[in-house]
Structure 1
């Protein structure tokens, strides 16, 4: 059993007024049991639920905007309060991904100063560079064209640089992909189980 979070990217037009229905359609090809004879070799999950604790930071001008997506419920916290400046998904142009990176970098600087959570042998520059690229992406990414990417399936994103691990390449490439999304692309985070 593994739990992970996937960032799903959808063309704005595909979402219409029902993000949950659009997410369901987008995730279906990667259902472990969606293939012939109840096994899907492309499967990546056996269950998923919308929501990621409102991880996305919303640009101040869009706080409370009706296009923000909040998970309808959370089995582990059905009464969690909604923060109008955070969400589980929204059009990319409403999200303050740079503020998310800045917050994560500030935490990484504190980690470096304390020595806690620092990868052995890493330099300060390496530690901060990695923090900058892991701040926004999640463990997997569903691209606008419907292809799945994660550290074991880099293909849709690109290839590692010489000497770079697949894991490091995934975070770097996923971050670059999210930075380059058009403002109308809908981005959501889902909690998955496999």
Structure 2
């Protein structure tokens, strides 16, 4: 069993009814529910939950920090009080959630990493991605065991390892990640910003967010929510 977060989407409602609406949306996935005849089987389940987006809270649209429609869970699952800053929230109507700023920041970081690596690597002979060396090792694990050493011995990677500030900007295995397809890199970075472990849609579908395709769907779905529909981060034990 583990504690994970699902982003629950619910139709417009009074802020005082949000907890009840989330409970109704999550009820089909309750481990302890009394399943009726003909009810569909579900793979996902939970046994308790609480509104708590700690670590993945939403940014609030500037100027709306005090809007009473914003949702901020008062307590963690442990019962300890939470103090959510005014600029953050666990959820609210989509129009009050600043979804664009973190996406724009992620895109800018991706472009900065791409440009930094391209400028740096151009001064060295072309290198090979670590995956090439790893594949050779997997094909002959006894005959070839120095994959990491050979990867790091490449002039461009050896120079990168001597430049920790640049290494922090470009991240791991930059030859594989930053050699081409800037547009794909940016989209991947943007898609990684908004998702939680799962998404519960307005029409009651629980989607585990386990791959790049699902992260893209999550991001597009959240951006396309009606302005007055709620999206709320929920911590659950399942």
- Would the TM-score normalized by the shorter structure come out above 0.5? yes
Q: How far 1:131 sits from its partner (Å)?
A: 1.5
The whole-number CA distance in structure 2 between the counterparts of 1:188 and 1:116 is: 31
The whole-number CA distance in structure 2 between the counterparts of 1:118 and 1:49 is: 38
Aligned pair partner of 1:142 in 175, 200, 203: 200
Gaps of 5+ in 1: 153-166
Assess if the C-alpha contact under 8 Å between 1:118 and 1:127 holds in 2. Answer: no
Aligned pair partner of 1:60 in 58, 62, 87: 62
Partner of 1:17: 16
Q: How far 1:57 sits from its partner (Å)?
A: 0.5
Higher helix share: 2
Partner of 2:227: 183
Q: How far 1:183 sits from its partner (Å)?
A: 0.5
**1:74-97 deviation per Cα after TM superposition (whole angstroms, max 9, x unaligned):** 144723323122100100011110
Q: How far 1:180 sits from its partner (Å)?
A: 0.8
Q: Which has the larger radius of gyration?
A: 2
Q: Secondary structure at the match of 2:194?
A: coil
Verify: 1:91 aligned to 2:135, yes or no.
no
Partner of 2:213: 169
Partner of 2:28: 29
The whole-number CA distance in structure 2 between the counterparts of 1:45 and 1:90 is: 24
Q: How far 1:5 sits from its partner (Å)?
A: 1.2
Verify: 1:133 aligned to 2:185, yes or no.
no
Partner of 1:44: 44
Structure 1 residues 116, 183: CA separation in 2 closer, same or farther (over 3 Å shift)? same
Q: Secondary structure at the match of 1:187?
A: strand
The whole-number CA distance in structure 2 between the counterparts of 1:109 and 1:48 is: 38
The whole-number CA distance in structure 1 between the counterparts of 2:234 and 2:98 is: 19
Assess if the C-alpha contact under 8 Å between 1:32 and 1:43 holds in 2. Answer: no
Structure 1 residues 71, 119: CA separation in 2 closer, same or farther (over 3 Å shift)? farther
Structure 1 residues 75, 3: CA separation in 2 closer, same or farther (over 3 Å shift)? closer
Verify: 1:7 aligned to 2:7, yes or no.
yes
Structure 1 residues 33, 75: CA separation in 2 closer, same or farther (over 3 Å shift)? closer
Assess if the C-alpha contact under 8 Å between 1:111 and 1:117 holds in 2. Answer: no
Aligned pair partner of 1:123 in 152, 158, 178: 178
Worse overlay, 75-84 or 26-35 = 75-84
